[in-house]
Amino acid sequence: MHKCITFLTLWFVLWSLALRAQESIAKLPDAPQIQAQAQQPGPASHPPAVNPVAPRPSAPAAGKPLTRQQAEQLALKDNPRISVAALLSLAQRQVVRETRSALLPNLNGNVTGVDAEEASRISSGSLAASRLLYHVGAGVDLSQLITDFGYTRNLVASSFLQAKASERQSEATREDVVLAADFAFYNALEAQATLQVAKSTVNARQAVTDQVNALTVNKLKSTLDQSFAQVNLSQAKLLDLDSQNQFDAAMASLNEVLGTTNDEQYQLVDDPSPPEPIAPSAEAIMALALQQRPDLLALKLAHDADVRFARAQRDQLLPTVSGLGIVGATPVGSSQYFTTNWYGAAGVNIGIPVFNGFKFQAQATEAKLRAKASDEQSRGLIDRIVRDVRTAWLRANTAQQRMSVTDELLKEANIALDLADTRYRLGLSSIVELSQAQLQQTQAQIAQANARFDYEADLAALRFQSGAQP
């Protein structure tokens, strides 16, 4: 009988303390709960699970909206690399006109007036057909290349192929800029998501700290819990500072790719549709890349230009046949030397290279060796393209798998945090368990955001490797 009374008394005291504790906890701020788009029913022994796909962090309110397509268009419009490539391509076209001018007639006009002493026609220095005769005349001379047995035409063909290669190189530059814009956009988008997670973490840790401080004041928690909560809050603030710095740096890099020196702030908007799946194998992408990669096409055109230039250097050893003509009038002049007031002549000149110290032979050999070297460069680029396509496909495939893994990781981290929060509120666990669950949930949120944007960046790299960029 005495033991029963003692047991009932002890049970009444514990029940009273539990009621007081629950009333005190009810008056305190709630612990942070993970927001989700929808809740899914979990096992019977666990609280409702959170949707594994967490909502994407919203973009900062400041700044105008910017999508990936808009970033690409701005980069193609304002990036100086685009202007440089276009100007170089236009300059190379002028080289074609310069080289082709040797095939067209060369017409020159002259007007000459001389007042000289007749006896000075033979002056000191050397004997020459002097023009030191009193006269006034005007005329034109014409020269036309008849044939040089392919030398000039091979030069024209070489310069034309170089111009085509320059156009392809300009396209390759556009693809480089588009890829850089995509990388900068997704890097900034990832930094934006990380910053949003960091700010949410600070708010959550602040709520837990306020709750623990209130429990400590009411003698329901120890100062050790208070210290742990404060440490966790400080760590969250450090994460917020680092995330803010990374976001600002990413935005600066994005502005550099977009071709502006201003500190523009954008509200980055990701495509709401799910990312497209990658090709089942890398072989099809390799075949496509070898057909349409502009840098490879540019290198092949440059090799063809080197071959034609080598032929032109070889043709320097052949004769050159030119036609010459001149006509004019000399209305004023001594009748002793100018019997009529007009003059004219026509002729053909054949230039035959005999010996110039083996210069032409050396130039032809040099050009031939350079053509072989450019062919080897094309082979080397093909090997690199095959490697880069296969590597990009592997990265994208791994990133696609990481998305599902990080989704599951976030789901389990949300469940673990919910359980740890419930256990801590009921006094069944220490704050260490809650802190560990909060840390895991933060890391899972960041990992999920990184996995999504890394996959989209890897898709952009795969498109670039296949030559499918705009």
Task: Note the pLDDT of residue 29.
Answer: 40
Higher pLDDT, 393 or 2: 393
Q: Which residues contact 256 (CB under 8 A, 6 or more apart)?
A: 184
Mean pLDDT of 172-176: 95
Helix count and strand count (H, E) for the chain: 9, 8
Question: Predicted confidence band at 31 (pLDDT cuts at 50, 70, 90)?
Answer: very low
Number of structural domains (the chain) is 1
**Residue 377, both tokens:** 């460069």
- What ranges in 221-277 are assigned the alpha helix state H? 223-257
Q: Which helix (H) or strand (E) holds 356?
A: none
Residue 438 to residue 203: CA distance in whole angstroms? 12
Distance CA 230, CA 220 (A): 17
Q: How confident is the model at residue 121 (pLDDT cuts 50, 70, 90)?
A: low
3-state secondary structure of 71: helix
User: What is the Cα–Cα distance from 133 to 122, expressed in whole angstroms?
Assistant: 11
Residue 92 lies in a domain: yes
Asked if the structure places residue 142 within a domain, the reply is: no
pLDDT exceeds cutoff 90 at 320: yes
Measure the CA–CA gap between 279 and 277, rounded to whole angstroms: 7
Long-range residue pairs from 21-26, CB within 8 A, at least 24 positions apart, any chain = 21/220, 21/427, 24/215, 24/218, 24/220, 25/215, 25/220, 25/425
Q: Tell me: the pLDDT tens digits for 417-467?
A: 999 888 888 888 888 888 889 889 999 999 998 998 999 999 999 999 998
Neighbours of 234 (CB within 10 A): 12
Q: What burial letters (b/e) apply to 409-443, b meaning 16+ CB within 10 Å? A: bbbbbbbbbbbbbeebbeeebbbebbbebbbbbbe
Q: How far is 101 from 98, CA to CA, in rounded Å?
A: 5
Give the model's pLDDT for residue 469: 63
Under 8 Å between Cβ of 75 and 257: yes
* Phi, psi (deg, nearest 5) at residue 269: -120, 120
The residue-averaged pLDDT of 100-122 equals 82
* Within a domain: 270: yes
Mean local confidence (pLDDT), 71-99? 95
| 16 belongs to a structural domain | no
Boundaries of domain holding 382: 49-104+149-317+358-466
For the CA atoms of 315, 317, 319, 325, what is the dihedral angle to 10 degrees? 80
Residue 402 contacts residue 464 (beta carbons within 8 Å): no
- Asked if residue 8 is part of any domain, the answer here is no
pTM: 0.77
Coil/strand/helix, residue 348: strand
Q: At what angle do helices 283-292 and 359-425 cross, to 10 degrees?
A: 140
pLDDT-based confidence at residue 22 (cuts at 50, 70, 90): very low
Cα separation of 119 and 122, whole Å? 7
- What is the pLDDT confidence band of residue 237, given thresholds at 50, 70 and 90? very high
What is the average pLDDT value for the chain, to the nearest integer?
84
| Predicted confidence (pLDDT) per residue in 330-365, tens digit | 888 777 777 677 888 999 999 999 999 999 999 999
Give the domain CATH number at 369: 1.20.1600.10
Question: Is residue 78 a part of any domain in this protein?
Answer: yes
Q: Is residue 2 part of a domain?
A: no
Residue 154 neighbours by CB distance under 10 Å: 21
Q: Tell me the two tokens of residue 68.
A: 């990936």
Mean pLDDT across 285-303: 94
384 found inside a domain: yes
Q: What pLDDT is stored for residue 40 in this prediction?
A: 36
Q: How far from each other are the two terminal CA atoms of the chain, in whole angstroms?
A: 90
